[in-house]
Amino acid sequence: MSEALVSFLVEQLGSIFLQQVEQNVRLVVNVKKEVLNLTLNLETIQDVLADAERRQVKEANVRRWLNNLKEVSFEIDDVVDEWSTEILKQQIEKQGENAVVPKKKVCFSIPFRCFCNGQVHQIIFRRDIAVRIKELNEKLALIHEQRKFYNFHRNETEIEQPARLKSFSIVDKSGTFGRDYERNKLVSQLVSENSEGRKKPLVISIVGLGGIGKTTLAQLAYNDDKVKGCFQKRIWVCVSEPLVQIAVAKAILEGLDESVPNSNELETYVQRISNSIEGRKFLLVLDDVWDSDHRKWEPFLTTLLCGASGSRILVTTRIAQVASAMGTTSGNTIHLQELSEETCRSLFYHIAFFDGARKESEKFEDIGNKIVKRCKGLPLAAKTLGSLMRYKNTIEQWVDVLNSKIWELQEFEQQVFQPLLLSYYDLESLSKRCVLYCATFPKDYEIDKDELIELWISQDYLEVKGGNKERKIVGQRCFENLVMLSFFQDFKEDVLGNITRCKMHDIVHDFVQYLTKDECFSMVVKGANERMELPGDEVRHLSLMFAPEGPFPVSFLNCKSLRTLTCFESKLTSIGVELISQLKSLRSLNLSENSILEVPKEIGGLIHLRYLDLSWNSELKELPDSLCDLYNLQTLRLVFCGELVKLPDEEAMRKLTKLKHLYVWRCCRLKSKGIRGLTGLQKLDAFHINGYKGADNEGTSKLEDLKDLHQLEGSLYISHLQSVEDASEAVAACLGEKRLFDLVLDFACVQCRGREGGGHIDMEILNGLQPHRDLESLSIWRCEASILLPNWILSLHKLKTLRLGVFGNCELLSGPLGKLPSLESLVFSGINKVKKVGVELLLGVDDDGSSSLFPKLKTLEFGAMEEWEEWEGDFQNNNIIIMPCLSSLEIHRCPKLGTLPDFLRNTPLQTVDISGSEILSDILRDKTSE
């Protein structure tokens, strides 16, 4: 993790002088020289860090050197951060003074004593910074000198990669378990004649985690009798990394039993390959492919075009992007999953007990079954542990293995972690830091993608010159890269198909814990009033597990260097002031899902804090104004704090100039007028309007408070729209200026039901809330308007998902929805007054000129429409094409519906799900029986 940290510090030290000049913050004598020396030493060390980080895994002395470097680097980071924060604080205070008092009167409006105190504070602060920089420079100079003893390679020098075992085509079938389904599927794809006549070979890819069994599956298929009989030539090439084109070409020629030319020109090789396979049906296996650069594979893919029809290329890789680069379609990609526990157990015992040859095997089975659970379906782990247990003959030895940390087992480290190390070393420095941070989560934890990226940002892992928005983009790319390399799995997606949550395989989690065992630590809390000690000063990220109900543990010894503190599955009721006073370097604090009653005002002293999560503290009622002294705060999460009444006042909130992400979902009582001052916000998950006639509206939110939040993007839920009394507020919100891709408009407001002219006002509000033209998902709920759609609906050319629910006064489903060019999913729910659905739904009332309606619609759903009796949608014009892509139709709780339109017969429907609609179900049942 040092490589990216040092790079970040070099950049920060360079930019700090620019801030100094801009803000006229002068330093004491010689500090500039000290900072220059500090920067030069860091740059020199930076040149050898890649080699040091590779060698630390096996060399304890290198690991100690790196830990010393990290210690100093983190201290430098703190100093630089305090320096920047002081400049920012002065700037904000100056702006506040200018906003209240005219500039020419400033001198007369500030008491002399206060002015002097401020000057004294600045002098003391600058001198303190100078002393600390000098001390750190001395420490870094020593580390800089020590680097010479380790003979590090410079970064530009080619560094020896970890050994990569070469694969081969032969497989011991008796030692393989499971994979019957995948094997049969793969063999079928290889020998299938469906693609006869193709101009190029079909490319099939097997993608999965290192050690999951990709090569074994390829070997099983390669040696299958059907496959052997199907191809004139079979070639097995282990590609590995780095990709050397001539080496691959030589291997292909050797597999073809052709002589290998003595040449350094790739052209010579591909010509001979072309001549050798022309007109012949071949199977080429490219095992362990890492390079996703299509340009490097193009010479081979082009050359192989001359093979006979039905030829195949089989690729194994742990990088999903490789499959795409090789031209594999999603239907021809096999994403290999873990073995079942039963299959994993069979594999383990087959190896551990010499396939049942050991007579005493039964007495080990109870412990063995528990050991197998640790493999989490990874075949390589089962094989490795099985081999390890072969020569352990006592129950005590088996128990020792069961109770040990997985990385303490030398065989596991050497065999199971080796393929993961290859994936890890293939990452760029930034991605390495990001994946290692996942050691702070418990095993099997469901990770929220946005939360993870924000945590990376809070630790400055994604620091780039372009600012926070660019960091989010870099974080998204980093996450996608880790997904591609199979570091994450078990994905959950939103309505647009974007990954929102994921998990990390237990073995991968063990691996990142292994690489961060000195830096990340998990501690089970046994008592509320105990004083707990960390295992060493190197711990930077602490996870507390199962803290009991009561106050936060009194304190931690040696915790001053912590940068992350997270509680999981805990019930804490308060945060101790003593604890806060110790956590001066903290960047991320997660106290979600506790029972926190009050946040102490001392929290404002955590000046480095970037990320604060207080979600799911259901008794928390307010936040102290001192929270706004957290000048560096970037993310504040308050989700499901149902009793939270107010944020700090607007003037205090304006100090949070770096706050980019605010989450207040289900904080329905929150009076959040202070949000209007957060003009730098990029993410606001929910906006609760809480002003209505007759209410105490002091400090409440209004739609117009969104006006100046120009940087908002992503998704936004707006609630209580029925409390809006003047539709001009909707226009003032300026939603069209905000790059939202997902918008939910919820009109429900219990206190506002039955208001005079509600339906007309709701429609005006809806028309005034015109979103950005790039919106992809729109939901409108509980609107009293009699008209279904706003007047701007056709401007949304990128809209993919539309959900309309509980329109209490709507009697006709009408609107030109059929003209939306990108609409893929359409849902109607709870529109109870509708009795008939006709052509108005497709075209609108006054239009019949379209030739294609709902051109991309895939799923259509109706629910809870209790008065709906008839559905017509047929046209006299036979040239009109309706829903040509519709694959799924769902109808739920529509008890009176008895007809379906004839045009559905011409759609490619694959699934029809009908429930709570007995008349329609009976009709369909009778037609089916006929």
The model's pLDDT over 440-449, given as tens digits with 9 standing for 90+, comes to: 999 889 999 9
Report the C-alpha gap between 238 and 509 in whole angstroms: 28
Q: Are 796 and 823 in contact (CB under 8 A)?
A: no
Helix, strand and coil percent figures for the chain, each rounded to 5: 45, 15, 40
Q: pLDDT value at position 683?
A: 96
Pairing mode, strands 836-837 and 447-448? unpaired
Cis peptide preceding 442, ω within 30 of 0: no
Q: Are 828 and 813 in contact (CB under 8 A)?
A: yes
Which is nearest to 813 in space by CA: 801, 821, 822, 805?
805
Which is nearest to 384 in space by CA: 421, 347, 358?
347
- Provide the residue type at 519 as one letter: E
Q: Using CA atoms in the order 819, 829, 501, 681, what is the torsion angle rounded to 10 degrees?
A: 70
Tokens of 39: 């920067």
Alpha-carbon Rg for the chain in angstroms: 32
Alpha helices, DSSP H only, in 278-313?
294-303
Q: Are 535 and 516 in contact (CB under 8 A)?
A: no
Q: pLDDT value at position 668?
A: 83
Phi, psi dihedrals of residue 640, rounded to the nearest 5°: 60, 30
Which is nearest to 484 in space by CA: 300, 287, 291, 239?
291
State the pTM of this model: 0.86
Tokens of 423: 């994936």
Q: Which residues of the chain, if any, have pLDDT below 70?
A: 1-31, 96-125, 155-165, 167-168, 174-175, 194-199, 355-361, 463-469, 527-530, 553-557, 691-699, 750-758, 842-850, 874-878, 925-930
Length of the chain: 930
CA distances for 406 relative to 113, 349, 385, 513, angstroms: 63, 19, 10, 10
CA distances for 633 relative to 93, 310, 377, 448, angstroms: 17, 60, 41, 20
Q: Are 851 and 879 in contact (CB under 8 A)?
A: yes
- Provide the residue type at 904 as one letter: L
Q: Are 349 and 341 in contact (CB under 8 A)?
A: no
Q: pLDDT value at position 313?
A: 95
Q: pLDDT value at position 801?
A: 97
Report the C-alpha gap between 544 and 587 in whole angstroms: 16
Q: Are 447 and 479 in contact (CB under 8 A)?
A: no
Q: Write out 687-753 in H/E/C secondary structure.
A: EECCCCCCCCCCCCCCHHHHCCCCCCEEEEEEECHHHCCCCHHHHHCCHHHCEEEEEEEECCCHHHC
Q: Are 201 and 311 in contact (CB under 8 A)?
A: yes
Q: pLDDT value at position 692?
A: 53
Tokens of 443: 């095993």
Written as one string, the DSSP assignment of 484-550 is HTTS-EEEEE-TTS-EEEEE--HHHHHHHHHHTTTTEEEEE---TT-EEE-S-TT--EEEEE-PPSE
Q: pLDDT value at position 31?
A: 67
Report the C-alpha gap between 555 and 560 in whole angstroms: 11
Which is nearest to 723 in space by CA: 777, 650, 782?
782
- Give, rounded to a whole angstrom, the gap between the first and last alpha carbons of the chain: 69
Report the C-alpha gap between 406 and 371 in whole angstroms: 10
Q: What are residue 829's DSSP bridge partners?
A: 805, 863
User: Counting Cβ atoms within 10 Å, is residue 832 exposed (0-12), middle (13-18) or buried (19+)?
Assistant: middle
CA–chain centroid gap for 73, Å, is 27
Say how many C-beta atoms besides its own lie within 10 A of residue 159's C-beta. 14
CA distances for 535 relative to 2, 14, 556, angstroms: 21, 35, 11
Q: In 3-state terms, what secondary structure has residue 144?
A: helix
Tokens of 271: 């010509």
CB burial readout 837-872, b (16+ within 10 A) else e: bbbbbbbbeeeeebeebbbbbbbbbbbbbeebbebe
Report the C-alpha gap between 464 and 298 in whole angstroms: 34
Q: In 3-state terms, what secondary structure has residue 787?
A: coil
Q: Are 323 and 317 in contact (CB under 8 A)?
A: yes
- Provide the residue type at 407 as one letter: W
Q: Are 547 and 525 in contact (CB under 8 A)?
A: yes
CA dihedral over 444, 289, 415, 345, signed as positive or negative: positive
Q: In 3-state terms, what secondary structure has residue 429?
A: helix
Instruction: Give the start-end residues of each E strand in 569-720.
Output: 572-574, 588-590, 611-613, 635-637, 661-663, 683-684, 686-688, 713-719
Q: pLDDT value at position 87?
A: 83
Phi, psi dihedrals of residue 255, rounded to the nearest 5°: -65, -25
Q: pLDDT value at position 788?
A: 82
Q: pLDDT value at position 594?
A: 92
User: Counting Cβ atoms within 10 Å, is residue 122 exposed (0-12), middle (13-18) or buried (19+)?
Assistant: middle
Q: pLDDT value at position 844?
A: 53
